[in-house]
Structure 1
Protein backbone atom coordinates (compact mmCIF):
# COMPACT_ATOMS: atom_id res chain seq x y z
CA UNK A 1 0.00 0.00 0.00
CA UNK A 2 2.87 2.36 0.88
CA UNK A 3 4.32 1.72 -2.56
CA UNK A 4 1.01 2.62 -4.14
CA UNK A 5 0.80 5.99 -2.33
CA UNK A 6 4.42 6.71 -3.19
CA UNK A 7 3.71 6.16 -6.88
CA UNK A 8 0.55 8.25 -6.61
CA UNK A 9 2.46 11.16 -5.08
CA UNK A 10 5.15 10.91 -7.76
CA UNK A 11 2.49 11.06 -10.48
CA UNK A 12 0.23 13.71 -8.95
CA UNK A 13 2.78 16.08 -7.38
CA UNK A 14 4.07 17.53 -10.69
CA UNK A 15 0.49 18.33 -11.66
CA UNK A 16 -0.06 20.35 -8.46
CA UNK A 17 3.29 22.09 -8.92
CA UNK A 18 2.31 23.04 -12.47
CA UNK A 19 -1.09 24.32 -11.32
CA UNK A 20 0.59 26.35 -8.58
CA UNK A 21 3.06 27.82 -11.07
CA UNK A 22 0.32 29.08 -13.35
CA UNK A 23 -1.78 30.28 -10.42
CA UNK A 24 1.12 32.42 -9.16
CA UNK A 25 2.16 33.60 -12.62
CA UNK A 26 1.05 37.20 -13.18
CA UNK A 27 -1.70 37.59 -15.80
CA UNK A 28 -0.75 38.67 -19.26
CA UNK A 29 -1.17 42.43 -19.71
CA UNK A 30 -4.28 43.45 -21.58
CA UNK A 31 -3.93 45.74 -24.56
CA UNK A 32 -7.15 47.66 -25.09
CA UNK A 33 -8.25 49.87 -27.98
CA UNK A 34 -10.49 52.89 -28.54
CA UNK A 35 -14.10 51.90 -29.30
CA UNK A 36 -13.82 52.27 -33.09
CA UNK A 37 -10.45 50.59 -33.62
CA UNK A 38 -8.55 47.37 -32.93
CA UNK A 39 -4.98 48.37 -32.17
CA UNK A 40 -3.84 44.75 -32.08
CA UNK A 41 -4.47 44.00 -35.78
CA UNK A 42 -2.92 46.67 -38.02
CA UNK A 43 -2.09 46.84 -41.68
CA UNK A 44 1.69 47.28 -41.64
CA UNK A 45 3.79 49.34 -44.05
CA UNK A 46 7.55 48.94 -43.50
CA UNK A 47 9.66 51.98 -44.31
CA UNK A 48 12.85 52.12 -46.37
CA UNK A 49 16.19 52.57 -44.59
CA UNK A 50 16.02 56.35 -45.07
CA UNK A 51 12.99 56.40 -42.74
CA UNK A 52 14.29 54.03 -40.07
CA UNK A 53 13.81 56.86 -37.56
CA UNK A 54 10.45 58.08 -38.88
CA UNK A 55 9.09 60.50 -36.30
CA UNK A 56 6.04 62.28 -37.71
CA UNK A 57 3.40 61.73 -40.41
CA UNK A 58 0.74 63.88 -42.07
CA UNK A 59 -1.65 63.98 -45.02
CA UNK A 60 -2.45 66.84 -47.39
CA UNK A 61 -6.13 67.71 -46.87
CA UNK A 62 -6.47 64.34 -45.10
CA UNK A 63 -5.99 62.42 -48.38
CA UNK A 64 -4.06 59.22 -47.76
CA UNK A 65 -2.88 58.63 -51.32
CA UNK A 66 0.44 60.23 -50.32
CA UNK A 67 2.09 60.00 -46.93
CA UNK A 68 4.26 62.94 -45.86
CA UNK A 69 6.77 62.24 -43.13
CA UNK A 70 9.93 63.36 -41.42
CA UNK A 71 12.66 61.56 -39.51
CA UNK A 72 14.54 62.58 -36.39
CA UNK A 73 17.89 63.68 -37.70
CA UNK A 74 17.62 64.97 -41.27
CA UNK A 75 15.86 68.17 -42.28
CA UNK A 76 13.99 66.48 -45.12
CA UNK A 77 10.30 66.18 -45.91
CA UNK A 78 9.58 62.73 -47.37
CA UNK A 79 6.66 61.74 -49.56
CA UNK A 80 5.55 58.33 -50.84
CA UNK A 81 2.45 56.42 -51.88
CA UNK A 82 0.92 54.01 -49.40
CA UNK A 83 2.63 50.61 -49.53
CA UNK A 84 5.28 51.92 -51.93
CA UNK A 85 8.75 52.08 -50.36
CA UNK A 86 10.04 54.35 -53.10
CA UNK A 87 10.13 57.85 -51.67
CA UNK A 88 11.20 61.33 -52.65
CA UNK A 89 12.17 64.17 -50.41
CA UNK A 90 12.59 67.94 -50.18
CA UNK A 91 15.27 69.42 -47.93
CA UNK A 92 14.09 72.21 -45.60
CA UNK A 93 16.99 72.39 -43.10
CA UNK A 94 20.29 70.85 -42.06
CA UNK A 95 20.62 68.12 -39.45
CA UNK A 96 18.62 68.59 -36.25
CA UNK A 97 16.07 66.94 -33.99
CA UNK A 98 12.78 67.03 -35.91
CA UNK A 99 9.86 65.44 -34.11
CA UNK A 100 6.52 66.06 -35.82
CA UNK A 101 4.81 67.47 -38.90
CA UNK A 102 1.44 69.04 -39.69
CA UNK A 103 -0.07 70.26 -42.96
CA UNK A 104 -2.38 73.22 -42.42
CA UNK A 105 -4.30 73.68 -45.69
CA UNK A 106 -1.54 74.92 -48.06
CA UNK A 107 1.19 75.21 -45.43
CA UNK A 108 3.62 72.64 -44.03
CA UNK A 109 4.85 72.93 -40.44
CA UNK A 110 7.71 70.89 -38.98
CA UNK A 111 8.33 70.91 -35.24
CA UNK A 112 11.84 70.73 -33.80
CA UNK A 113 12.29 69.37 -30.28
CA UNK A 114 13.20 72.73 -28.71
CA UNK A 115 9.91 74.19 -29.95
CA UNK A 116 11.18 75.79 -33.17
CA UNK A 117 8.77 75.66 -36.12
CA UNK A 118 9.84 75.43 -39.77
CA UNK A 119 6.99 76.73 -41.95
CA UNK A 120 6.81 76.68 -45.76
CA UNK A 121 4.21 76.51 -48.57
CA UNK A 122 2.96 73.06 -49.53
CA UNK A 123 3.92 73.85 -53.16
CA UNK A 124 7.56 73.69 -52.04
CA UNK A 125 7.16 70.07 -50.94
CA UNK A 126 7.99 68.77 -54.41
CA UNK A 127 11.15 70.85 -54.75
CA UNK A 128 14.60 69.40 -54.13
CA UNK A 129 15.53 72.24 -51.79
CA UNK A 130 12.88 74.36 -50.09
CA UNK A 131 13.65 78.06 -50.39
CA UNK A 132 10.50 79.85 -49.21
CA UNK A 133 10.74 78.98 -45.53
CA UNK A 134 10.10 80.88 -42.32
CA UNK A 135 11.50 79.77 -38.97
CA UNK A 136 9.70 80.60 -35.72
CA UNK A 137 11.93 80.49 -32.64
CA UNK A 138 11.22 81.23 -28.99
CA UNK A 139 7.44 81.23 -29.40
CA UNK A 140 6.87 78.49 -26.80
CA UNK A 141 7.70 78.08 -23.09
CA UNK A 142 11.09 76.47 -22.57
CA UNK A 143 10.84 72.71 -22.77
CA UNK A 144 10.87 69.68 -25.07
CA UNK A 145 8.22 69.34 -27.79
CA UNK A 146 7.24 66.43 -30.04
CA UNK A 147 3.56 67.02 -30.87
CA UNK A 148 1.80 69.37 -33.29
CA UNK A 149 -1.75 69.36 -34.65
CA UNK A 150 -3.16 71.77 -37.25
CA UNK A 151 -6.91 72.39 -37.65
CA UNK A 152 -7.79 73.10 -41.30
CA UNK A 153 -11.15 74.61 -40.34
CA UNK A 154 -10.00 77.15 -37.76
CA UNK A 155 -6.39 77.69 -38.92
CA UNK A 156 -5.32 76.97 -35.37
CA UNK A 157 -2.14 75.12 -34.45
CA UNK A 158 -1.84 73.12 -31.21
CA UNK A 159 1.59 72.43 -29.72
CA UNK A 160 1.88 70.00 -26.82
CA UNK A 161 4.79 70.00 -24.38
CA UNK A 162 6.52 66.69 -23.74
CA UNK A 163 8.72 67.92 -20.93
CA UNK A 164 8.08 71.30 -19.30
CA UNK A 165 9.27 72.22 -15.81
CA UNK A 166 5.93 73.15 -14.21
CA UNK A 167 4.04 70.19 -15.68
CA UNK A 168 5.81 67.60 -13.54
CA UNK A 169 5.12 69.58 -10.35
CA UNK A 170 1.45 70.12 -11.25
CA UNK A 171 0.92 66.56 -12.57
CA UNK A 172 -0.39 68.07 -15.78
CA UNK A 173 0.44 68.43 -19.46
CA UNK A 174 0.40 71.89 -21.02
CA UNK A 175 0.19 73.23 -24.53
CA UNK A 176 -0.09 76.37 -26.61
CA UNK A 177 -2.47 77.45 -29.38
CA UNK A 178 -1.62 79.71 -32.32
CA UNK A 179 -3.68 80.98 -35.24
CA UNK A 180 -1.80 81.02 -38.53
CA UNK A 181 -2.28 83.96 -40.89
CA UNK A 182 -1.19 82.54 -44.24
CA UNK A 183 -1.27 85.93 -45.97
CA UNK A 184 1.13 87.55 -43.56
CA UNK A 185 2.82 84.26 -42.65
CA UNK A 186 2.34 84.96 -38.97
CA UNK A 187 1.62 82.76 -35.97
CA UNK A 188 -0.68 84.64 -33.61
CA UNK A 189 -0.78 83.48 -29.95
CA UNK A 190 -4.35 82.31 -29.28
CA UNK A 191 -4.33 80.75 -25.83
CA UNK A 192 -3.11 77.83 -23.76
CA UNK A 193 -4.54 74.55 -22.53
CA UNK A 194 -3.76 71.94 -19.91
CA UNK A 195 -4.67 68.32 -19.17
CA UNK A 196 -4.78 66.87 -15.64
CA UNK A 197 -2.63 63.73 -15.41
CA UNK A 198 -3.05 63.03 -11.69
CA UNK A 199 -5.66 60.29 -12.21
CA UNK A 200 -3.46 58.37 -14.65
CA UNK A 201 -0.45 58.72 -12.35
CA UNK A 202 -2.40 57.46 -9.31
CA UNK A 203 -3.60 54.42 -11.29
CA UNK A 204 -0.04 53.71 -12.49
CA UNK A 205 -1.23 54.05 -16.09
CA UNK A 206 1.71 56.36 -16.80
CA UNK A 207 5.01 57.21 -15.12
CA UNK A 208 5.08 59.65 -12.23
CA UNK A 209 7.15 61.96 -14.42
CA UNK A 210 4.17 62.48 -16.74
CA UNK A 211 2.69 61.42 -20.06
CA UNK A 212 5.65 62.49 -22.25
CA UNK A 213 3.55 62.99 -25.38
CA UNK A 214 5.17 61.99 -28.67
CA UNK A 215 2.28 62.79 -31.06
CA UNK A 216 -1.11 64.48 -31.18
CA UNK A 217 -4.11 64.39 -33.49
CA UNK A 218 -7.86 64.92 -33.36
CA UNK A 219 -10.79 62.71 -34.34
CA UNK A 220 -12.43 64.83 -37.09
CA UNK A 221 -15.92 63.53 -36.20
CA UNK A 222 -16.04 63.56 -32.39
CA UNK A 223 -13.42 66.24 -31.77
CA UNK A 224 -11.70 63.94 -29.27
CA UNK A 225 -7.95 64.22 -28.86
CA UNK A 226 -5.67 61.24 -29.47
CA UNK A 227 -2.36 61.56 -27.65
CA UNK A 228 0.48 59.11 -28.10
CA UNK A 229 3.27 58.43 -25.62
CA UNK A 230 6.22 56.37 -26.76
CA UNK A 231 7.85 56.46 -23.29
CA UNK A 232 4.72 55.12 -21.56
CA UNK A 233 3.61 52.95 -24.51
CA UNK A 234 0.04 54.28 -24.27
CA UNK A 235 -2.57 55.96 -26.43
CA UNK A 236 -4.74 58.41 -24.49
CA UNK A 237 -8.15 59.57 -25.74
CA UNK A 238 -9.34 62.89 -24.29
CA UNK A 239 -12.50 64.93 -24.65
CA UNK A 240 -12.48 68.15 -26.73
CA UNK A 241 -11.86 70.08 -23.48
CA UNK A 242 -8.85 67.92 -22.54
CA UNK A 243 -10.43 65.59 -19.97
CA UNK A 244 -9.02 62.05 -20.00
CA UNK A 245 -11.59 59.65 -21.45
CA UNK A 246 -9.63 56.41 -21.83
CA UNK A 247 -6.08 55.08 -21.65
CA UNK A 248 -4.90 52.20 -23.85
CA UNK A 249 -1.69 50.28 -23.25
CA UNK A 250 0.18 49.44 -26.45
CA UNK A 251 1.72 46.08 -27.22
CA UNK A 252 5.48 46.60 -27.58
CA UNK A 253 5.67 43.71 -30.05
CA UNK A 254 3.47 45.80 -32.39
CA UNK A 255 4.49 49.32 -31.39
CA UNK A 256 8.28 49.43 -31.31
CA UNK A 257 8.61 53.18 -30.74
CA UNK A 258 5.37 55.02 -31.59
CA UNK A 259 6.13 58.59 -32.64
CA UNK A 260 3.59 59.70 -35.29
CA UNK A 261 -0.20 59.92 -35.39
CA UNK A 262 -2.80 60.94 -38.00
CA UNK A 263 -6.32 60.37 -39.34
CA UNK A 264 -7.27 60.37 -43.02
CA UNK A 265 -10.61 61.42 -44.54
CA UNK A 266 -11.90 57.82 -44.34
CA UNK A 267 -11.38 57.81 -40.56
CA UNK A 268 -8.46 55.40 -40.81
CA UNK A 269 -6.01 55.87 -37.94
CA UNK A 270 -2.25 55.78 -38.62
CA UNK A 271 0.58 55.35 -36.10
CA UNK A 272 4.23 55.47 -37.16
CA UNK A 273 7.02 53.68 -35.30
CA UNK A 274 10.75 54.24 -35.33
CA UNK A 275 12.81 51.16 -36.09
CA UNK A 276 15.99 49.83 -34.51
CA UNK A 277 18.79 47.34 -35.16
CA UNK A 278 16.30 44.48 -35.50
CA UNK A 279 13.25 46.05 -37.13
CA UNK A 280 12.42 48.60 -39.81
CA UNK A 281 10.54 51.80 -39.17
CA UNK A 282 6.88 51.43 -40.09
CA UNK A 283 3.45 52.99 -40.35
CA UNK A 284 0.50 51.03 -38.97
CA UNK A 285 -2.99 51.55 -40.39
CA UNK A 286 -6.13 50.84 -38.37
CA UNK A 287 -9.44 50.80 -40.20
CA UNK A 288 -12.57 51.89 -38.29
CA UNK A 289 -14.98 49.18 -37.25
CA UNK A 290 -18.31 49.13 -39.16
Structure 2
Protein backbone atom coordinates (compact mmCIF):
# COMPACT_ATOMS: atom_id res chain seq x y z
CA UNK A 1 0.00 0.00 0.00
CA UNK A 2 1.39 3.39 -0.97
CA UNK A 3 2.33 5.85 1.73
CA UNK A 4 0.05 8.52 0.21
CA UNK A 5 -3.01 6.26 0.49
CA UNK A 6 -2.17 5.47 4.12
CA UNK A 7 -1.90 9.18 4.90
CA UNK A 8 -5.25 9.94 3.29
CA UNK A 9 -6.91 7.08 5.16
CA UNK A 10 -5.55 8.14 8.56
CA UNK A 11 -6.74 11.72 7.98
CA UNK A 12 -10.09 10.31 6.93
CA UNK A 13 -10.44 8.38 10.17
CA UNK A 14 -9.30 11.23 12.41
CA UNK A 15 -11.51 13.80 10.70
CA UNK A 16 -14.56 11.70 11.44
CA UNK A 17 -13.66 11.03 15.09
CA UNK A 18 -13.84 7.28 14.81
CA UNK A 19 -11.49 6.86 17.76
CA UNK A 20 -8.99 5.01 15.54
CA UNK A 21 -5.41 5.99 14.82
CA UNK A 22 -4.36 3.70 11.99
CA UNK A 23 -5.66 1.55 9.18
CA UNK A 24 -3.90 -1.47 10.67
CA UNK A 25 -6.46 -1.57 13.46
CA UNK A 26 -9.15 -2.20 10.87
CA UNK A 27 -7.58 -4.76 8.59
CA UNK A 28 -9.99 -6.53 6.28
CA UNK A 29 -10.87 -9.93 7.69
CA UNK A 30 -10.33 -11.56 4.29
CA UNK A 31 -7.37 -12.05 1.96
CA UNK A 32 -9.08 -10.21 -0.86
CA UNK A 33 -6.33 -10.95 -3.39
CA UNK A 34 -6.45 -14.72 -2.87
CA UNK A 35 -9.88 -16.36 -3.15
CA UNK A 36 -10.25 -19.77 -1.56
CA UNK A 37 -12.62 -21.04 -4.25
CA UNK A 38 -13.69 -19.98 -7.74
CA UNK A 39 -17.02 -20.93 -9.31
CA UNK A 40 -17.45 -20.40 -13.05
CA UNK A 41 -21.08 -19.80 -14.02
CA UNK A 42 -22.87 -20.82 -17.25
CA UNK A 43 -22.79 -18.38 -20.19
CA UNK A 44 -26.38 -17.29 -19.56
CA UNK A 45 -25.12 -15.81 -16.29
CA UNK A 46 -22.50 -13.65 -18.00
CA UNK A 47 -24.27 -10.64 -16.44
CA UNK A 48 -24.67 -12.04 -12.94
CA UNK A 49 -25.92 -9.01 -11.06
CA UNK A 50 -26.79 -10.01 -7.50
CA UNK A 51 -25.98 -12.58 -4.85
CA UNK A 52 -27.56 -13.92 -1.66
CA UNK A 53 -27.14 -16.90 0.65
CA UNK A 54 -29.95 -19.33 -0.23
CA UNK A 55 -29.43 -22.29 2.08
CA UNK A 56 -26.59 -24.54 3.25
CA UNK A 57 -23.99 -24.83 0.45
CA UNK A 58 -26.13 -22.85 -1.97
CA UNK A 59 -26.22 -19.28 -3.28
CA UNK A 60 -28.92 -17.56 -5.32
CA UNK A 61 -28.30 -14.95 -8.00
CA UNK A 62 -29.87 -12.98 -10.85
CA UNK A 63 -29.18 -12.38 -14.49
CA UNK A 64 -29.19 -8.61 -15.03
CA UNK A 65 -31.68 -8.68 -17.92
CA UNK A 66 -34.28 -11.22 -16.78
CA UNK A 67 -36.59 -11.66 -13.81
CA UNK A 68 -35.18 -15.09 -13.01
CA UNK A 69 -33.45 -16.42 -9.93
CA UNK A 70 -30.77 -19.09 -10.24
CA UNK A 71 -29.46 -21.28 -7.41
CA UNK A 72 -25.83 -22.43 -7.44
CA UNK A 73 -24.82 -25.54 -5.51
CA UNK A 74 -21.35 -24.96 -4.10
CA UNK A 75 -20.52 -28.66 -3.94
CA UNK A 76 -21.44 -29.65 -7.49
CA UNK A 77 -20.70 -26.13 -8.87
CA UNK A 78 -23.87 -26.36 -10.96
CA UNK A 79 -27.12 -24.42 -11.22
CA UNK A 80 -29.64 -26.71 -9.52
CA UNK A 81 -32.78 -24.56 -9.38
CA UNK A 82 -34.26 -21.62 -11.24
CA UNK A 83 -37.39 -19.52 -10.76
CA UNK A 84 -39.00 -17.09 -13.18
CA UNK A 85 -40.80 -14.38 -11.20
CA UNK A 86 -40.98 -11.57 -13.81
CA UNK A 87 -40.26 -10.82 -17.46
CA UNK A 88 -37.34 -8.86 -18.88
CA UNK A 89 -35.95 -5.85 -17.01
CA UNK A 90 -32.85 -4.51 -15.27
CA UNK A 91 -32.61 -6.66 -12.13
CA UNK A 92 -29.82 -5.68 -9.78
CA UNK A 93 -30.49 -6.84 -6.20
CA UNK A 94 -31.52 -10.09 -4.55
CA UNK A 95 -31.93 -11.14 -0.90
CA UNK A 96 -33.44 -14.11 0.88
CA UNK A 97 -35.10 -13.41 4.23
CA UNK A 98 -36.76 -16.43 5.85
CA UNK A 99 -39.09 -18.07 3.35
CA UNK A 100 -39.15 -15.05 1.04
CA UNK A 101 -37.01 -13.77 -1.79
CA UNK A 102 -36.78 -10.04 -2.49
CA UNK A 103 -35.56 -8.80 -5.86
CA UNK A 104 -35.24 -5.25 -7.11
CA UNK A 105 -34.86 -3.53 -10.46
CA UNK A 106 -32.65 -0.49 -10.93
CA UNK A 107 -35.77 1.68 -11.34
CA UNK A 108 -36.90 0.83 -7.81
CA UNK A 109 -39.49 -1.87 -8.53
CA UNK A 110 -39.37 -4.36 -5.65
CA UNK A 111 -40.63 -7.95 -5.92
CA UNK A 112 -41.31 -10.55 -3.23
CA UNK A 113 -42.12 -14.23 -3.64
CA UNK A 114 -42.14 -17.37 -1.50
CA UNK A 115 -39.27 -19.81 -1.97
CA UNK A 116 -41.80 -22.66 -1.80
CA UNK A 117 -43.65 -21.00 -4.69
CA UNK A 118 -46.75 -20.51 -2.57
CA UNK A 119 -49.01 -17.58 -3.35
CA UNK A 120 -48.31 -14.89 -5.94
CA UNK A 121 -45.39 -12.60 -6.74
CA UNK A 122 -45.98 -9.35 -4.86
CA UNK A 123 -44.88 -5.90 -5.98
CA UNK A 124 -43.93 -3.46 -3.23
CA UNK A 125 -43.89 0.28 -3.86
CA UNK A 126 -40.61 2.04 -3.06
CA UNK A 127 -39.55 5.72 -2.97
CA UNK A 128 -36.90 5.11 -5.65
CA UNK A 129 -36.83 5.69 -9.40
CA UNK A 130 -34.44 5.17 -12.30
CA UNK A 131 -32.46 8.27 -11.28
CA UNK A 132 -31.45 6.55 -8.05
CA UNK A 133 -30.31 3.43 -9.93
CA UNK A 134 -30.79 0.87 -7.14
CA UNK A 135 -28.05 -1.76 -7.44
CA UNK A 136 -27.61 -3.44 -4.08
CA UNK A 137 -30.00 -5.28 -1.79
CA UNK A 138 -29.05 -6.62 1.64
CA UNK A 139 -30.57 -7.42 5.02
CA UNK A 140 -29.75 -6.47 8.60
CA UNK A 141 -31.21 -9.25 10.75
CA UNK A 142 -30.77 -7.31 13.98
CA UNK A 143 -32.82 -4.29 12.91
CA UNK A 144 -35.12 -6.19 10.54
CA UNK A 145 -34.39 -3.85 7.62
CA UNK A 146 -33.85 -4.63 3.98
CA UNK A 147 -30.98 -2.41 2.79
CA UNK A 148 -31.01 -0.63 -0.57
CA UNK A 149 -27.70 0.64 -1.96
CA UNK A 150 -28.11 3.38 -4.56
CA UNK A 151 -25.54 3.58 -7.32
CA UNK A 152 -26.39 7.12 -8.36
CA UNK A 153 -28.40 9.93 -6.76
CA UNK A 154 -29.30 9.40 -3.10
CA UNK A 155 -32.08 12.00 -3.16
CA UNK A 156 -35.71 10.95 -2.82
CA UNK A 157 -38.82 13.06 -2.20
CA UNK A 158 -38.13 15.64 0.53
CA UNK A 159 -34.68 14.15 1.21
CA UNK A 160 -31.37 15.54 -0.07
CA UNK A 161 -28.20 13.45 0.27
CA UNK A 162 -24.60 14.55 -0.24
CA UNK A 163 -23.01 11.16 -0.71
CA UNK A 164 -23.83 7.55 -1.41
CA UNK A 165 -26.98 6.44 0.37
CA UNK A 166 -28.28 3.19 1.81
CA UNK A 167 -31.96 3.18 2.69
CA UNK A 168 -33.90 0.76 4.86
CA UNK A 169 -37.27 -1.00 4.59
CA UNK A 170 -38.57 -2.45 7.86
CA UNK A 171 -40.05 -5.82 7.00
CA UNK A 172 -42.31 -6.22 10.02
CA UNK A 173 -44.06 -2.86 9.56
CA UNK A 174 -43.46 -2.73 5.78
CA UNK A 175 -42.39 0.89 6.00
CA UNK A 176 -39.41 2.67 4.48
CA UNK A 177 -37.17 4.79 6.65
CA UNK A 178 -37.71 8.42 5.65
CA UNK A 179 -33.98 9.13 5.62
CA UNK A 180 -31.01 6.91 4.73
CA UNK A 181 -29.76 4.43 7.33
CA UNK A 182 -26.18 5.02 6.15
CA UNK A 183 -24.56 7.80 4.11
CA UNK A 184 -21.00 7.66 2.81
CA UNK A 185 -20.19 11.32 2.28
CA UNK A 186 -18.57 12.57 -0.93
CA UNK A 187 -16.03 14.61 1.04
CA UNK A 188 -14.90 11.54 2.98
CA UNK A 189 -14.46 9.44 -0.16
CA UNK A 190 -12.46 12.26 -1.72
CA UNK A 191 -10.09 12.27 1.24
CA UNK A 192 -9.31 8.63 0.57
CA UNK A 193 -9.59 8.28 -3.20
CA UNK A 194 -8.84 11.80 -4.45
CA UNK A 195 -10.99 14.40 -6.21
CA UNK A 196 -11.56 12.21 -9.26
CA UNK A 197 -12.73 9.21 -7.27
CA UNK A 198 -15.33 6.78 -8.51
CA UNK A 199 -17.38 4.84 -5.99
CA UNK A 200 -20.78 3.70 -7.18
CA UNK A 201 -22.24 0.90 -5.03
CA UNK A 202 -23.28 -2.26 -6.85
CA UNK A 203 -23.90 -4.52 -3.85
CA UNK A 204 -24.40 -4.47 -0.10
CA UNK A 205 -24.37 -7.17 2.59
CA UNK A 206 -24.27 -7.30 6.38
CA UNK A 207 -21.70 -9.55 8.03
CA UNK A 208 -23.63 -12.17 10.06
CA UNK A 209 -21.22 -12.12 13.01
CA UNK A 210 -19.89 -8.55 13.27
CA UNK A 211 -22.87 -6.75 11.69
CA UNK A 212 -20.42 -4.65 9.70
CA UNK A 213 -21.83 -3.36 6.42
CA UNK A 214 -19.91 -4.35 3.29
CA UNK A 215 -20.47 -2.19 0.22
CA UNK A 216 -19.00 -3.25 -3.10
CA UNK A 217 -18.57 -0.94 -6.10
CA UNK A 218 -18.03 -2.04 -9.68
CA UNK A 219 -17.48 1.58 -10.75
CA UNK A 220 -14.42 2.31 -8.67
CA UNK A 221 -13.40 -1.34 -8.16
CA UNK A 222 -13.61 -1.02 -4.38
CA UNK A 223 -14.90 -2.71 -1.23
CA UNK A 224 -15.89 -0.44 1.66
CA UNK A 225 -16.52 -1.81 5.16
CA UNK A 226 -18.56 0.25 7.62
CA UNK A 227 -19.45 -0.25 11.26
CA UNK A 228 -23.05 -1.23 12.12
CA UNK A 229 -23.62 2.49 12.68
CA UNK A 230 -22.35 3.35 9.20
CA UNK A 231 -18.90 4.68 10.08
CA UNK A 232 -16.32 3.80 7.36
CA UNK A 233 -13.66 1.45 8.73
CA UNK A 234 -11.75 0.07 5.77
CA UNK A 235 -11.55 0.54 2.02
CA UNK A 236 -9.89 -2.00 -0.29
CA UNK A 237 -9.17 -1.51 -3.97
CA UNK A 238 -10.11 -4.60 -5.98
CA UNK A 239 -7.87 -5.94 -8.72
CA UNK A 240 -9.62 -6.12 -12.08
CA UNK A 241 -7.74 -9.34 -12.87
CA UNK A 242 -9.55 -10.97 -9.95
CA UNK A 243 -12.80 -8.98 -10.02
CA UNK A 244 -13.60 -8.06 -13.66
CA UNK A 245 -16.86 -6.33 -12.66
CA UNK A 246 -17.90 -6.96 -9.05
CA UNK A 247 -21.69 -6.77 -8.82
CA UNK A 248 -22.85 -8.96 -5.92
CA UNK A 249 -21.79 -9.77 -2.37
CA UNK A 250 -23.14 -12.21 0.23
CA UNK A 251 -22.13 -14.03 3.40
CA UNK A 252 -22.67 -17.56 4.65
CA UNK A 253 -23.80 -17.80 8.30
CA UNK A 254 -20.24 -18.71 9.38
CA UNK A 255 -18.83 -15.51 7.89
CA UNK A 256 -17.48 -16.85 4.58
CA UNK A 257 -17.75 -14.08 1.99
CA UNK A 258 -18.80 -14.49 -1.66
CA UNK A 259 -18.40 -11.90 -4.42
CA UNK A 260 -19.80 -12.28 -7.94
CA UNK A 261 -18.42 -10.61 -11.06
CA UNK A 262 -19.73 -10.18 -14.58
CA UNK A 263 -17.38 -11.42 -17.30
CA UNK A 264 -17.76 -10.20 -20.90
CA UNK A 265 -18.29 -12.95 -23.44
CA UNK A 266 -18.45 -15.87 -20.99
CA UNK A 267 -20.10 -16.98 -17.78
CA UNK A 268 -19.68 -14.82 -14.72
CA UNK A 269 -17.72 -15.95 -11.67
CA UNK A 270 -18.33 -16.26 -7.93
CA UNK A 271 -15.34 -16.09 -5.58
CA UNK A 272 -15.28 -17.47 -2.04
CA UNK A 273 -13.19 -15.95 0.75
CA UNK A 274 -12.82 -17.60 4.13
CA UNK A 275 -12.54 -15.29 7.11
CA UNK A 276 -9.07 -14.93 8.57
- Per the alignment, do residues 232 and 262 of structure 1 end up closer, same or farther by CA in structure 2, a change over 3 Å counting? same
CA distance in 2, matches of 1:154, 1:115: 22
CA distance in 2, matches of 1:138, 1:105: 21
Deviation at 1:111, TM superposition (A): 1.0
TM-score by length of 2: 0.81
Candidates 146, 159, 164, aligned match of 1:173? 164
- Structure 2 counterparts to residues 150-161 of structure 1, below 5 A: 150-161=139-150
- Per the alignment, do residues 165 and 215 of structure 1 end up closer, same or farther by CA in structure 2, a change over 3 Å counting? closer
Which ranges in structure 1 are unaligned for 5 or more consecutive residues?
A: 1-25, 125-129
Candidates 102, 111, 115, aligned match of 2:104? 111
Candidates 180, 205, 210, aligned match of 1:217? 205
- Per the alignment, do residues 119 and 207 of structure 1 end up closer, same or farther by CA in structure 2, a change over 3 Å counting? farther
Which ranges in structure 2 are unaligned for 5 or more consecutive residues?
A: 7-23
- Contact kept? 2:46, 2:263, Cα under 8 Å: yes
- Structure 2 counterparts to residues 49-64 of structure 1, below 5 A: 49-60=43-54, 63-64=55-56
- Match of 1:202, SS state, is helix
Indicate yes or no: 2:141 matched with 1:147. no
- Structure 2 counterparts to residues 129-278 of structure 1, below 5 A: 132-140=120-128, 142-164=131-153, 166=155, 171-181=162-172, 187-191=174-178, 192-193=180-181, 194-204=183-193, 207-208=196-197, 211-277=199-265
More helix by share: 1
Deviation at 1:216, TM superposition (A): 0.2
Deviating more after overlay: 131-140 vs 50-59: 131-140
Candidates 27, 31, 38, aligned match of 1:44? 38
- Contact kept? 1:104, 1:155, Cα under 8 Å: no
Aligned CA RMSD, in angstroms, stands at: 2.8
CA distance in 2, matches of 1:229, 1:93: 26
- Per the alignment, do residues 98 and 248 of structure 1 end up closer, same or farther by CA in structure 2, a change over 3 Å counting? same
CA distance in 1, matches of 2:194, 2:237: 8
Q: State the structure with more CA Rg.
A: 1
Indicate yes or no: 2:71 matched with 1:79. yes
CA distance in 2, matches of 1:75, 1:100: 11
- Contact kept? 1:229, 1:259, Cα under 8 Å: yes
Candidates 52, 60, 63, aligned match of 1:68? 60
- Structure 2 counterparts to residues 84-95 of structure 1, below 5 A: 84-95=77-88
- In structure 2, the residue matched to 1:3 is none
CA distance in 1, matches of 2:122, 2:263: 30
CA distance in 2, matches of 1:146, 1:207: 22
Deviation at 1:39, TM superposition (A): 0.8
- Per the alignment, do residues 222 and 48 of structure 1 end up closer, same or farther by CA in structure 2, a change over 3 Å counting? same
- How many residue pairs get aligned? The number is 248
